Structure 1
Amino acid sequence: MNKVAVLLAVYNGRTWVDEQLESILAQVEVNLDVFVSIDLSTDGSWDYLTEKYSSYKNVYFLPYGDKYGSAGKNFYRLVLDVNFDDYNYISFADQDDIWYANKLQHAIETIENKNVDAYSSNVLAFWDDGRTCLIDKAQPQTAFDYYFEAAGPGCTYVFAKKLGTAFREFLLSNKSAQDVTLHDWLIYAFARANNYKWYIDAVPGMRYRQHSSNQVGANISYKMWVKRIKLVNSGWYRKEVFKLVKLFETRFYPLRGITNQRNFKNSIMLIPFVFKFRRRLRDKIVLGVLLMLNLF
């Protein structure tokens, strides 16, 4: 059976992490080890988890005590500190989701059958009140979508060792790469920019918990739309795109003109190419409007 290194980032995770860990340890048809990095927490996560799971032969805890401050920084720490040599695949895991028992098996079969290097998928978002909603990220990839969005929630990512090793080397040789806020966006951009093949599956492999502490979450509610509009208006989105354009140079002239400040001339140049920048039609339209209003 394939051996998988599951990288689990935790921060104040006691409320939900047991369900997540139990669903990871219940994965079928794979051998796996779970590597846990706990950001400096205030809820006793370290003491609780180490006391409960240290006796498990396939659960490992990275040294504790540093403050990373974001999920992205915590995952970068995991990629840099975990040795991938003995594994066929690497998977990201958040602290609060619930995986279906065949999540990893299905992802690996898909990678091998489609001859790709990395996999992500749709998810079934769920709330404590019983509501559920399919989050669809499986639209066809476009020429430059990786500069403008991730491949979906990072907790669905499964990728081959060669990609994981190459991504670690990239992080080591490009210190500014860790300034990219979202780890899942960065590794997707790295993979696409370096001609690794990535498949986005329409079949959900997990339940994606929604709550007030989600760093990103499902973009389907009024509050989440307001949150994301505020992020765009603050300049955060453009600055993240600019970081990726600098890291992964492109010959496509309109993208090369992006700066970390709003630029109406550049925005106008980008408008004709919005269909190359996002996967979903709705998102292409929204980005086009933002560019026309010079709000990107």
Structure 2
Amino acid sequence: MYNGLVEILLATYNGQDYIEKQIQSIIHQTYTNWNLLVSDDCSNDKTLDILYKYAKEDSRIKIISKGKRFGSAAKNFIFLLKNAQSEFVAFCDQDDYWHPDKLEVFLHNVIDAGGRENGPMLIYSDLRVVDQHGVLISESYYDMMKLNPYRNSLSNLLVQNIVTGCASMINRDLYRLILKHTIDCDKIVMHDWFIAVICAACGSLVYIDSPTIDYCQHITNVVGAKKFNLLKWIKKNDDNKVSIRNSVIQASYIYDNYKLYLSDESKKVLKNYASILSYSLIKRLFILIHYDLWKSNVLRRIGQIIYTLKV
């Protein structure tokens, strides 16, 4: 059994109502060789007081940044990633609750999948969805969202993220590859999506078909689990155009900065999606079909076609 150090990256901002429960769930992990690296984005509530209390009691908890304004979770997590050194790194949200064996389950799966010798790797799991009081909403995030967690090819991930950062772990090969370039967070949609696309292009992804955290849904979530509804999605005309445009900008950014590390096939897929909005409507549709650039189900694909042709 693996017994090396695992670093857990926790980005915080005004999380006083949730942070204590999350830290407790980490402290009570069955796998105990971990360090929790915390970066606070200028919280103006009692988040830092709570963090300092636990850091004083447990030397594994290290506050590495405070008073530095990031302005987004993505920028905060990328900063944390730059400070990582361990062989495996897990991401952590301030408002969730880790199941006691989360780290143990992830390490078992990443070692079995060859995460120490097979190049860049990302492991991700299902999540139980709960409300702010801990009441169960769904036993499965993927069932609730009508997402197929196994659709993790580069083509699939370019158009739709299925990896939730708070239920993922990456190896050193992957984060060293990611950090070969200074990351412009204004060109990426979210850190977990960006990391998943790079891993799909240059490495491998492994899915754990069981929940390892309770994923909390509340009014202040930056990104949350919301049931998919096609009519509501179509009505959000401008938002959907922006979403597709941003996914294309992200693809272009990854192609421009990481093409030296890509296979010829990955280059082809990335380059075509990065250029899709410059093509005629017919060619846009051809590229979606030819490179299998589809979201998870038929309803989403209908919406995807509508807005890829309208942008």
Q: TM-score range by the shorter chain?
A: 0.7 to 0.9
State the identity as a percent.
20
Runs of 4+ in 1 over 6 A off after TM superposition: none
Unaligned runs of 5+ in 1: none
- Aligned AA (2:252): V
Name the SS of the counterpart of 2:157 in structure 1.
helix
Distance (Å, rounded) in 1 between the aligned partners of 2:127 and 2:299: 19
Q: For this pair of structures, how many residues does the alignment match?
A: 286
Aligned counterparts of 1:240 and 1:276: Cα–Cα separation in 2:
12
Are the aligned partners of 1:7 and 1:92 in contact in 2 as well (CA < 8 Å)? Answer: yes
Normalising by structure 2, what TM-score?
0.81
Match of 2:246 among 226, 239, 260: 239
Aligned to 2:6: 4
1:167 aligns with 2:178: yes
| 1:62 shift after superposition | 1.3
Say if 2:172 is the partner of 1:155.
no
Hey, what's the Cα distance between the residues in 1 that align with 2:237 and 2:25?
35
1:217 deviation in Å? Answer: 0.5
Among 182, 186, 199, the alignment partner of 1:191 is 199
Give distance in 2, aligned partners of 1:276 and 1:258: 11
1:135 alignment counterpart: 141
1:227 to 1:53, Cα distance in 2 relative to 1, 3 A:
farther
Distance 1:100 1:13, change over 3 A: same
Residues in 2 aligned to 1:60 and 1:211: alpha-carbon distance in whole angstroms: 27
Maintained 8 Å contact 1:181/1:240: yes
CA contact (8 A) 1:232 1:238 kept: no
CA RMSD in angstroms comes to: 2.8
Shift of residue 30, structure 1, vs aligned partner: 4.2
Q: Residue 92 of structure 2 corresponds to which residue in structure 1?
A: 93
Relative to structure 1, the CA distance from residue 148 to residue 49 in structure 2 (aligned partners, 3 Å threshold; closer, same or farther) is same
Does residue 125 of structure 1 match 2:129? yes
Alpha-carbon distance, 1:273 to partner: 4.1
Conservation of the 8 A alpha-carbon contact between 1:143 and 1:277: no
* Cα deviation, residue 113, structure 1: 1.4
- Post-superposition Cα deviations, 1:49-103, rounded to whole Å, max 9, x if no partner, equal 21343331100001311211111111011011x241xx22100000000011111
Deviation at 1:271, TM superposition (A): 4.0
What is the TM-score when the length of structure 1 is the normalising length? 0.85
- Structure 1 residue 29, shift from structure 2 partner: 2.8
Q: Please state whether the residue corresponding to 1:15 is helix, strand or coil.
A: coil
SS of equivalent to 1:235: helix
Question: Match of 1:216, as an amino acid?
Answer: V
* 1:255 partnered with 2:273: yes
Change in 2 beyond 3 A, CA 1:34/1:284: same
Partners in 1 of 2:234 and 2:28 — Cα distance? 35
SS of alignment partner, residue 239 of structure 1: helix
| Aligned positions of 1:1-296 closer than 5 A | 1-80=3-82, 82-84=83-85, 87-116=86-115, 117-128=121-132, 130-133=135-138, 134-136=140-142, 137-170=148-181, 172=182, 175-176=183-184, 179-194=187-202, 196-220=203-227, 229=236, 232-248=239-255, 250-252=267-269, 254-259=272-277, 264-273=281-290, 275-291=292-308, 294-295=309-310
Structure 2: runs of 5 or more not aligned: 116-120, 143-147, 260-266
